[in-house]
Amino acid sequence: MGARLLDDRATRLFIALAAFFCANAVLAEFIGVKIFALEDTLGIAPLEWNLFGQTGSLSFTAGTLLWPVVFIFTDVINEFFGRRGVRMISWIAVGLILYGFAFAFIAISLAPAGWWVEAALAQGVPDYQAAFAAIFGQGMWTIAGSVTAFLVGQLIDVQVFHRIRRATGERFIWMRATGSTAVSQLVDSFVVIWIAFVLGPQQWPTSLFLAVSSVNYLYKMAAAVALIPLLYLVRRGIRAYLGLERERELRAAAAQD
């Protein structure tokens, strides 16, 4: 029975999409501790934004490189496996993220070998244990904000996606993908900053909270629009893998979910 179930191409497709989705979500959380300068990375002059009385450059967490991919795969899973598919992988991803952070904190608490502490001295790292703890020991407010924003954003995304789908039918996949991302990431971008930096110990002023959240939201939306061709490319690949008839069956079932 199990072998026959895994012979079904739709089942194997869901497993592959879910695995890739969860891997990207977990990686985005862990690499998100690094803040990079977009202008310096691209080799362009700093673009000083001015919002709500605040100014700054385009600096983002490294996790923003992966979140647009997560959005795309959310829409793909939504398209073929419906609300239940997205909700299932979202909860699994949250569980894996928390599992990963739990073991990161356990690893930090382990007594380091004496020789290992100075093992990277030649690379300019005088205390490997302190560096390890700084990188993997993200603050609890940051973790809480990120996980909460991710889950709330996903649950909103699936609802908006299907509302647009009911209104437009099977046409305009770009509209339901971009529209659902526009709403869900508006919530996500503001919730994560609010929990991590307003409720948290840093207690950012409202102007800074609004400015940074807005810049992050605009970046995510620009990335989502830029990745629309990838959405169509993935959809075409799935159609080739499943066959036209099976693809239509899945999409019809997902629309009724």
Report the distance separating Cα 98 and Cα 101, nearest Å: 5
Q: Please tell me whether residue 190 adopts helix, strand or coil conformation.
A: helix
Is residue 45 in some structural domain?
no
pLDDT at 97 exceeding the cut of 90? yes
Number of helices and strands in the chain (H, E): 11, 4
Mean of the pLDDT values across residues 97-110? Answer: 93
User: What pLDDT score does 53 carry?
Assistant: 83
User: What pLDDT score does 179 carry?
Assistant: 86
Contacts 24+ apart (CB under 8 A), 84-87: 84/257, 85/14, 85/254, 85/257, 86/154, 86/157, 86/158, 87/154, 87/155, 87/158
The H or E element that residue 100 is part of is helix 67-109
Mean of the pLDDT values across residues 197-222? Answer: 87
The single-letter code of the amino acid at 116 is: W
Percent of the chain with pLDDT over 70: 98
Is residue 123 in some structural domain?
yes
Is residue 55 in some structural domain?
no
Give residue-wise pLDDT tens across range 138-153. Answer: 778 888 888 998 999 8
* Residue 88 structure tokens: 């299932």
Query: Which residues are CB-neighbours of 254 under 8 A, at least 6 positions away?
Result: 78, 79, 80, 81, 82, 85
Is residue 42 in some structural domain?
no
Give residue-wise pLDDT tens across range 120-132. Answer: 898 999 999 999 9
Mean of the pLDDT values across residues 180-208? Answer: 87
Q: Please tell me whether residue 57 adopts helix, strand or coil conformation.
A: coil
pLDDT at 3 exceeding the cut of 70? no
pTM recorded for the entire structure: 0.87
Q: How many domains are contained in the chain?
A: 1
Report the distance separating Cα 122 and Cα 255, nearest Å: 57
pLDDT at 91 exceeding the cut of 90? yes
Mean of the pLDDT values across residues 98-111? Answer: 93
pLDDT at 1 exceeding the cut of 70? no
Most confident of 61-70, 101-110, 174-183: 101-110
Task: Tell me the torsion sign for CA atoms 234, 237, 243, 244.
Answer: positive
Structural domain boundaries, residue 190? 2-37+60-256
pLDDT at 10 exceeding the cut of 70? yes
Is residue 147 in some structural domain?
yes
Average pLDDT, the chain: 87
